[in-house]
Structure 1
Amino acid sequence: MHHANHFYGHAHVLARYCGLDLSDGQDPPKIEGYVQHGWNIGDGLAPGHPYAERTPIFAWSERVRRTAWSMGKRNVVVIGAPWIYLQEVEPELGAVPEAEREGTIYYPFHGWEGGHVKGDHGKLIEQIKDVETGPVTVCLYWQEYRTPKVRRRYENAGFRIVSHGYRGHWWKDTDPHFLTKQLVELRRHRRIASNRVSSALFYGIASGCEPAVYGNPMTLQGEDPAYGGVPRIRRQWPELHGVAPDVETARQLAAAELGKDFRCSPEELRHLLGWARTTEVAR
């Protein structure tokens, strides 16, 4: 299995939805293809992502499939994001009555193993304080969370600080409960905000949060400009930007980007991922 299929526990989520038995802690069977591991404006694969020709790409949305087609990739199948399968598997986990949801969870743009974020955290903190009126939770990616000087900036601002865990890398240290922990957090907050449109933003919208995109967008060290970056995102999704975008419009966009209408049945998904013949099905 390509190591990116394990990121954030995606393969584990899909296996649970398909009814595969992972009760003894075993890994999911090999996926015969590449699962898009995060929201992006390209072909579903990260820039520079190694790709074996004619291997299926399992994209989240029809928009991504069309983009991949325009870039010469033909074997692209839209299955929807693992997030929509997680919501199906865990319809009530962490849910609270609508009236009890409170505060904002803010996701600052983050780095990864291949690059660190460059930006003014102090300025972003002040922008958050200027906008948000209720309690604020800041979710830091593992890299920033494990950097004391960054984490303390947000702690000293009086924000609650969380991290959903480590996504995994090269088949090591994957937290299969990453998305589950994220789902629980999102279902307890009234708003989700970030300084960039991201996977987390769409997850939050799909989980019933009111969205916002504002603040210094920051930059990633060595960020690939191939797909147009932040300027293109602002042009293509202007409805999501601002401190109080229209909620219904945002929900429609999130449903499209997460491929809600393309969710497969467990039988269909097992067939597409190459799991149709597995015997490890939970009874």
Structure 2
Amino acid sequence: MHHHNHYYGQAHILARYAGLDFDHPPRLRGYLQHGWNIGCGWNPVHEFYDGAWRFTWSDAPRRRGHALGRRNYHSIGAPFLYLLDLEPAAEEEREGTLWFLFHGWEGGKIQGDHQRLIDEIRETEPGPVTFSLYYTEYERPEVRRYYEDAGFRVVSFGRRGFSYERTDRRFLFKQLAELRRHKRVAANRLSTAIFYGVAAGCEPAVYGDPMQMEGENPLFGGESRIKRLWPEMLGKSIDLEAARATTDVELGRSWMMPAAELRMLFDWRERV
């Protein structure tokens, strides 16, 4: 199993949904999409072994992959949607905005005008702001301090892990709990967190300096393509009905499977 399948504890969530061991999920024979993607489900230079299945959240990455000559796709719905079923929401009054900064990764840092972004957030958000930083920015004091000094509550949900090491298996659980406390979810780029927020009941917004990441690959079209294809998801005040419809498509709600079908698809059957 490719170690990316463990990112954010996604394989663990699917195992629990299928009635299997959460802490030690069985091998998933293929590649599991781990974030919202405007391409074929993975980064442009991802390597695949011959004959491997590619498990996407929705049908659009499959279609784009087919256009590139790639095969063996199966759409299953985002693991986050299964988590929503596993962790029903309690009645809780929502307040403020959970704001996600576009983040880098282990191989690339973000660069941008943090103070200008803070000023725009203050002008826009009507209530308290909780600011979410991925660990790559949270562990950079020069970045984290901007938002702490602005008076925002700053949080991080942990590490996605790498090569099965330091994976926070409850990353998405913590993110979901935080989303459910907030009325709005916002970010400076349309990203996975925005779709998760809408699915969890938040009102979305996408605005501010999108910032740049070192070594960012523009092969799939980048920000200009997002503006062309998902204009209904951009802005400070977004039509909630339209956002929910797009979220259902992008997260693959109609492709979700019952537990028995997941076990069959992944060959997670009990051996006797």
TM-score normalised to structure 2 length: 0.98
Counterpart-to-counterpart distance in 2, 1:180 and 1:47: 29
Aligned to 2:230: 237
* SS, match of residue 7 in structure 2: helix
Q: Taking structure 1 as reference, are residues 96 and 136 closer, same or farther at Cα in structure 2, changes over 3 Å only? A: farther
- Contact kept in structure 2, 1:267 and 1:276, CA below 8 Å: no
**What's the CA shift string for 1:142-169, capped at 9, x where partnerless?**
0111111111110000101000111101
Q: Which amino acid aligns with 1:174?
A: T
Aligned to 1:70: 67
Matched, 1:89 2:93: no
Aligned to 1:182: 175
Counterpart-to-counterpart distance in 1, 2:122 and 2:265: 46
Counterpart-to-counterpart distance in 1, 2:191 and 2:271: 34
Counterpart-to-counterpart distance in 2, 1:233 and 1:267: 36
Question: What does 1:17-166 correspond to in 2, within 5 Å?
Answer: 17-22=17-22, 25=23, 27-92=24-89, 95-97=90-92, 100-166=93-159
- Contact kept in structure 2, 1:138 and 1:159, CA below 8 Å: yes
Q: Which amino acid aligns with 2:4?
A: A
Q: Which amino acid aligns with 2:3?
A: H
Q: Which amino acid aligns with 1:111?
A: G
**What's the CA shift string for 1:185-231, capped at 9, x where partnerless?**
00110000001111100000000000000000011110001000011
Q: CA deviation at 1:278?
A: 5.6
- Contact kept in structure 2, 1:96 and 1:188, CA below 8 Å: no
**What's the CA shift string for 1:84-127, capped at 9, x where partnerless?**
111111113xx343xx1010000010000111111111111111
Counterpart-to-counterpart distance in 1, 2:62 and 2:204: 26
Q: Which amino acid aligns with 1:71?
A: L
Aligned to 1:253: 246
* SS, match of residue 118 in structure 2: helix
* SS, match of residue 9 in structure 2: helix
Q: CA deviation at 1:277?
A: 3.1
Q: RMSD over aligned Cα, in angstroms?
A: 1.1
Counterpart-to-counterpart distance in 1, 2:184 and 2:128: 10
- Contact kept in structure 2, 1:81 and 1:258, CA below 8 Å: yes
**What's the CA shift string for 1:9-64, capped at 9, x where partnerless?**
00100001000034xx4x21110010001001011012211111221000011111
Mark the runs of 5 or more structure 1 residues left unpaired by the alignment. none
Q: Which amino acid aligns with 2:19?
A: G
Equivalent residue pairs, number: 272
Aligned to 1:273: 266
Q: CA deviation at 1:274?
A: 2.2
Counterpart-to-counterpart distance in 2, 1:172 and 1:208: 32
Question: What does 1:8-23 correspond to in 2, within 5 Å?
Answer: 8-22=8-22
- Contact kept in structure 2, 1:96 and 1:187, CA below 8 Å: no
Q: Taking structure 1 as reference, are residues 157 and 262 closer, same or farther at Cα in structure 2, changes over 3 Å only? A: same
* SS, match of residue 212 in structure 1: strand
Counterpart-to-counterpart distance in 1, 2:170 and 2:255: 24
- Contact kept in structure 2, 1:80 and 1:260, CA below 8 Å: yes
Q: Taking structure 1 as reference, are residues 255 and 278 closer, same or farther at Cα in structure 2, changes over 3 Å only? A: farther
Counterpart-to-counterpart distance in 2, 1:158 and 1:9: 31
